Amino acid sequence: QKEVEQDPGPLSVPEGAIVSLNCTYSNSAFQYFMWYRQYSRKGPELLMYTYSSGNKEDGRFTAQVDKSSKYISLFIRDSQPSDSATYLCAMTDSNYQLIWGAGTKLIIKP
């Protein structure tokens, strides 16, 4: 079993829809949780990072962590074609070792 599971997609939704991207993990020691966005042929860029459980909002993006279920989510409101990209989740334990999901490819149809 992989430490971090992420559906590769592609996930295709119409413009304006609410998008939900998810990762599950097995290691209860994970404390920091991150979401990265990667456009085609570019390096990943940090979108959001959260510590421990709870929600964090930044504009149209909301990151949610449920440590009891070992489940993290990224919600995108009012999705735009420019949000089309691959979204990667990542998390670290107390030793700061970074573990990556495989990434979900998101397509927003105009």
Check residue 76 for interaction with another protein (CB under 8 A): no
User: How many chain residues are in contact with another protein, going by CB under 8 A?
Assistant: 22
One-letter amino acid at 31 equals Q
Check residue 8 for interaction with another protein (CB under 8 A): yes
Measured from the CB atom, the residue of 32 and 61 that comes closer to another protein is 32
| One residue of 7, 13, 15, 32 binding another protein per CB under 8 A | 32
In whole angstroms, what is the distance from residue 86 CA to residue 57 CA?
20
Check residue 45 for interaction with another protein (CB under 8 A): yes
In whole angstroms, what is the distance from residue 81 CA to residue 110 CA?
6
| One residue of 20, 46, 53, 69 binding another protein per CB under 8 A | 46
Check residue 27 for interaction with another protein (CB under 8 A): no
One-letter amino acid at 63 equals A
Check residue 88 for interaction with another protein (CB under 8 A): yes
Question: Which DSSP string corresponds to 45-74?
Answer: EEEEEEESSEEEEETTEEEEEETTTTEEEE
